[in-house]
Amino acid sequence: MSHSQSDCSGKHPEKPVLSPQFLSASHRSLFFQRLNDLTRYQQTSPEYQAVLFVLTSDDELYEKMGPYFSSDGFRSFDLFDEVDFSGGYAKIARAAADLFGQNYETSLSDLVGSLDHDLFHTFLQALIIRKYGVNG
């Protein structure tokens, strides 16, 4: 049976409720602090939530991506024109922009090979958030 079909009782399957696994208490706190600065629509948007999860996960990402992300949107084109990233940070920042819906080609094999443990964890969680959103 496909996911779009009803089960035998005639009910539609419920959307999974997944809570993101934050890297630390400060990551969680900063994520929700910045989330509250967004509009109500943006607060429930998986696109905004996924980018926000990435940019609040690490000091370097927060410092470099933060000024380009607000209730006015995510100005990734300006970000990549004006900011230099080290190591896997450029790759995960571009992946975040891609998850936001901006046209960046992201090579998954290159991404996986260039991310350290924490950035890889962040990327996996951002994928889950982009698919299902954040619930509380």
Domain ranges of the chain: 25-132
Element (H, E) at 73: strand 73-74
**pLDDT, tens digit, 9 for 90 and up, residues 35-79:** 999 999 999 999 999 999 999 999 999 999 999 999 999 999 999
**Residues 6 or more apart from 31 whose CB is under 8 A from it?**
22, 52, 53, 56
Give the global pTM.
Answer: 0.84
**Residues 6 or more apart from 96 whose CB is under 8 A from it?**
50, 51, 54, 55, 65, 76, 126
Cβ burial of 27 (10 Å; 0-12, 13-18, 19+) is buried
Q: What is the pLDDT of residue 6?
A: 43
Q: Which pair of tokens denotes residue 87?
A: 């190591």
Is the confidence at residue 102, as pLDDT, over 90? no
